């Protein structure tokens, strides 16, 4: 079985911190980040279009969802917490949702026309906002789970929330790193404890990925201790109801992003000190790059893997 050969670093001509990443195909990729920046390539990263969303050059758009070559939805973390959509390849952006001063959005996920945004706890409830029309209109959920004041999910890579058909998951971090699961797209919720490192504001699970319809993998750690391997990954075989730590060698530090590549049965994880891969379902990890990233995603056609990070960094996996 072949191994990843590293990353092909691409020239984007921006220097923003890029946490929003959405590869649609191996050629079409959207990205977003600090300074209000958005990016798009239609040729596999050879050239990039870029700009600032609605002039918001002080806003950090920490997640983006590319729906096709012309259409994308971008969400900012806070100050202000907003959701924007473009239908013309980024030339113009229309505001679709304006959060309150209390809102801080952590990540967004889409399944066909349905989209979900997870935000930190507001007034005792996790803030969940959803759309049923490709992001045209957004509704605050009235059935979101209860949460402690000050609880949140990490807005490090937009991958603390996950959807598969009717199943919806998100994971919290900090004082408690819990997995929240809904079998019916957010109407009913259950919460489950996890064994990943937690208890401090910098600790917990940061990213979720799906290996199959029942098996989930999560990575995280402590972003203040980027080289620590202590309880920085975990696996669930039952849709998140129970979790265990990997049996073998863990990822080589704090990890903010993880994705699964079905073709090679690889898990790929990224963090500030480098990248690791596993070819046995996450039980043993091997470092293959010292380049640091925030986020990593498989494209929707399942043919390529992309990563984004600080200083305008975007890369494509080589193998």
pLDDT at 79 over 90: no
pLDDT in tens, 148-203: 988 999 999 999 999 999 999 999 999 999 999 999 999 999 999 999 999 999 99
Q: What angle do CA 301, 302, 304 make, to 5 degrees?
A: 105
pLDDT at 149: 87
Band (pLDDT 50/70/90 cuts) for residue 64 is very high
Q: What is the DSSP string of 256-313?
A: SEEEEETTTTEEEEEETTEEEEESSTTSS-EEEE----SEEEE-TTSS-EEEE-STT-
pLDDT at 150: 86
Token pair, residue 52, equals 């600032």
pLDDT at 314 over 90: yes
pLDDT in tens, 237-294: 999 999 999 999 999 999 999 999 999 999 999 999 999 999 999 999 999 999 999 9
Q: Which of 1-5, 37-41, 114-118, 205-209 has the lowest mean pLDDT?
A: 1-5
pLDDT at 139: 98
pLDDT at 1 over 80: no
Mean of pLDDT values over 80-96 = 97
pLDDT at 317 over 70: yes
Non-local (6+) Cβ contacts of 193 within 8 A are 176, 178, 243
pTM more than 0.85: yes
Domain ranges of the chain: 6-318
pLDDT at 2 over 90: no
pLDDT at 236: 98
Name 164's bridge partners. 167
> How many residues would you count in the chain?
319
pLDDT at 3: 92
In CATH, what is the architecture of 6-318?
A: 7 Propeller (2.130)
Token pair, residue 72, equals 């994308």
CB 38 within 8 A of CB 32: yes
pLDDT in tens, 102-141: 999 999 999 999 999 999 999 999 999 999 999 999 999 9
pLDDT in tens, 222-253: 999 999 999 999 999 999 999 999 999 999 99
């Amino acid at each position: 079985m072949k191994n990843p050969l590293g990353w092909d670093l691409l020239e984007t001509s921006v220097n923003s911190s890029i946490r929003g990443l959405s590869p649609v195909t191996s050629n079409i990729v959207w990205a977003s980040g600090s300074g209000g920046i958005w990016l798009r390539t239609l040729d596999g990263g050879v050239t990039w279009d870029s700009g600032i969303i609605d002039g918001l050059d002080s806003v950090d758009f920490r997640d983006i969802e590319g729906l096709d070559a012309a259409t994308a939805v971008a969400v900012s973390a806070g100050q202000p917490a907003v959701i924007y959509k473009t239908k013309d390849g980024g030339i113009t952006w229309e505001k679709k949702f304006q959060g309150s001063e209390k809102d801080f959005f952590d990540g967004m996920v889409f399944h066909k026309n349905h989209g979900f945004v997870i935000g930190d706890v507001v007034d005792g409830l996790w803030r969940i906002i959803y759309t049923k029309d490709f992001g045209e209109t957004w509704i605050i959920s009235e059935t979101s789970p209860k949460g402690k004041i000050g609880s949140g999910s990490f807005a490090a890579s937009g991958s603390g929330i996950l959807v598969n058909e009717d199943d919806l998951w998100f994971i919290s971090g900090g004082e408690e790193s819990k997995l929240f699961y809904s079998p019916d797209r957010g109407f009913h919720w259950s919460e489950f404890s996890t064994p990943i490192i937690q208890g401090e504001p910098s600790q917990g699970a940061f990213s979720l990925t799906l290996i199959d319809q029942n098996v989930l993998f999560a990575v995280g750690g402590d972003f203040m201790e980027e080289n620590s391997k202590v309880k920085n990954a975990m696996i669930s075989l039952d849709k998140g109801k129970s979790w265990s730590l990997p049996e073998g060698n863990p990822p080589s530090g704090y990890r903010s992003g993880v994705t699964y590549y079905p073709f090679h049965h690889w898990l790929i994880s990224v963090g500030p000190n480098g990248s690791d891969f596993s070819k046995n379902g996450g039980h043993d990890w091997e470092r293959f790059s010292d380049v640091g990233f925030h986020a990593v995603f498989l494209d929707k056609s399942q043919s390529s893997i992309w990563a984004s990070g600080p200083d305008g960094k975007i890369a494509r996996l080589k193998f």
